[in-house]
Amino acid sequence: MASKAKFDTRVTRSTLQDGVYTFIREALMSGEFVPGTRLTAREIAERTGTSVMPVREAFRRLMSEGALEPLSTGATRVPVFSSERIAEIMDVRLIVEGFAARRAASRITDEQLRELVAANDQMVIAMRLRDPKIEARANEHFHFSIYRAAGSEELMRTIEHLWLKFGPPLLKVMEDGGDEGESRIRRTANHHAAIISALRQRDPEKAAAALQADLTDTSKFYAKLKRAKN
């Protein structure tokens, strides 16, 4: 569970709403809230140290983005998407995030490369410790280090919107899999190493291909898990 966030109650209402919105959004993108998770305004208010009003506003914003859905009970739920919908989202991710990797290859700085390597190192440690929540957050940090290096606010907004939808199912990929999960971990480490190598070489096509291979592998593994459970 994420540590309890704290917001200064002296700040404006709009700033409180933005802070709560960001908290929930980050939890969705990193997979902390898995599909089907029911969220209540009171629960999130307690975790963020705010009242329920800014939480309700944040819920409304996220529902308008398709990242949350209302229930007849008054609770709010993380959507459970069909395999077809997940595959559709991944198809778009391959195009958009591959393009971001191409841009990043010609723009990434040495400092950004160091940040990328540090995020990957953290992810490798989490994988060895079998800690899927830390792995998911480190994976998000790794990918968004690349996308920030692409230097496009419009591109970032599009990618964040996609991750709001795909982030929740991602944790299940990291939690499940048994013996096959071991193979998934090795493949992920290899994909990330290839991405880092391509970015160091400032090679746009190699960077895009390596990142798309990583996304495709994750998508196939998730689809296989879904078939095994059905």
**pLDDT value of position 5:** 54
DSSP H/E element including 39? strand 38-39
Across the strands, what pairs with 69?
77
* Separation between Cα atoms, residue 112 and residue 117, nearest integer Å: 9
Indicate the residue among 57, 77, 97 that finishes a domain. 77
pLDDT, one tens digit per residue, over 64-104 is: 999 999 988 878 999 998 888 888 999 999 999 999 999 99
Predicted pLDDT at 10: 42
CA distance 37 to 32: 10
Residue bearing the bigger pLDDT, 184 or 77: 77
Residue 2's pLDDT is what?
46
Answer yes or no: is 73 within a domain: yes
- Whichever domain contains 24, its CATH number is 1.10.10.10
39 and 90 inside one domain: no
**Is 20 within 8 Å of 58 (Cβ atoms)?**
yes
| Residue of 10 and 133 predicted with greater confidence | 133
Residue 177 near residue 221, CB atoms below 8 Å:
yes
Domain that includes residue 17, residue range: 13-77
Shared domain for 187 and 208, answered yes or no, is yes
What region, left, alpha or beta, does residue 78 occupy, with left being phi > 0 and alpha being psi -120 to 50 degrees? beta
The contacts of residue 107 (CB under 8 Å, 6+ apart) are 149, 150, 151
In a domain, 141, yes or no: yes
In this structure, the answer to whether residues 134 and 221 fall within a common structural domain is yes
Number of domains composing the chain: 2
Is 72 found in the same domain as 114? no
Q: For residue 177, what is the domain's CATH number?
A: 1.20.120.530
pTM of the model: 0.84
Strand order in the sheet with 76-77: 38-39, 76-77, 69-70
Q: What percentage of the chain reaches a pLDDT higher than 90? A: 60
- Is the domain of 87 the same as that of 71? no
pLDDT digits (tens, 9 = 90+) for 103-116: 999 999 999 999 99
Alpha helices in the chain (DSSP H): 13-29, 41-48, 52-64, 83-107, 110-128, 132-149, 153-175, 178-200, 204-229
